[in-house]
Structure 1
Amino acid sequence: MSEFSTGKCGGRSSGFDEERYKKRNTVELAINLLKYARAVATRYDKRGYVFLGIAAAAALVIWLRT
């Protein structure tokens, strides 16, 4: 049975893991917050380490605000 298949009566699959879903949701929310950070969204740097530094700084600001 596939990981994404539905149960006998439809709905959620029998392999649904609630803890894994919570962690995935947390990561998705964090990525969405970074997407809305203007410092990250408007960067067009040629160097990867510069962009990574800006993303890390934005993540730090988001973390400190929560």
Structure 2
Amino acid sequence: EDLARFLETLIYVGNFDKELPTPKPIVTFEVAPTGDEDPDLLIAGTKRVFKQAWSMLGA
């Protein structure tokens, strides 16, 4: 829910409506494995959470 609210705020302030040098807007997140956490699983989980949050917006 926190990520969905963050994305909703980006939409509200017009972050995705700005003229950009790229075809689509870019949002980046820094994630890093801790301890013996598998980096591939971390990336897969991050993508899953992002897609779930984005779908909560109905976008």
Query: Given the two structures, how large is their TM-score scaled by the length of structure 2?
Result: 0.39
Question: Quick check: which has more Rg, 1 or 2?
Answer: 1
Q: Which has the higher helix share?
A: 1
Which is bigger in relative contact order (C-alpha 8 A, separation at least 6)? 2
Query: Given the two structures, how large is their TM-score scaled by the length of structure 1?
Result: 0.35
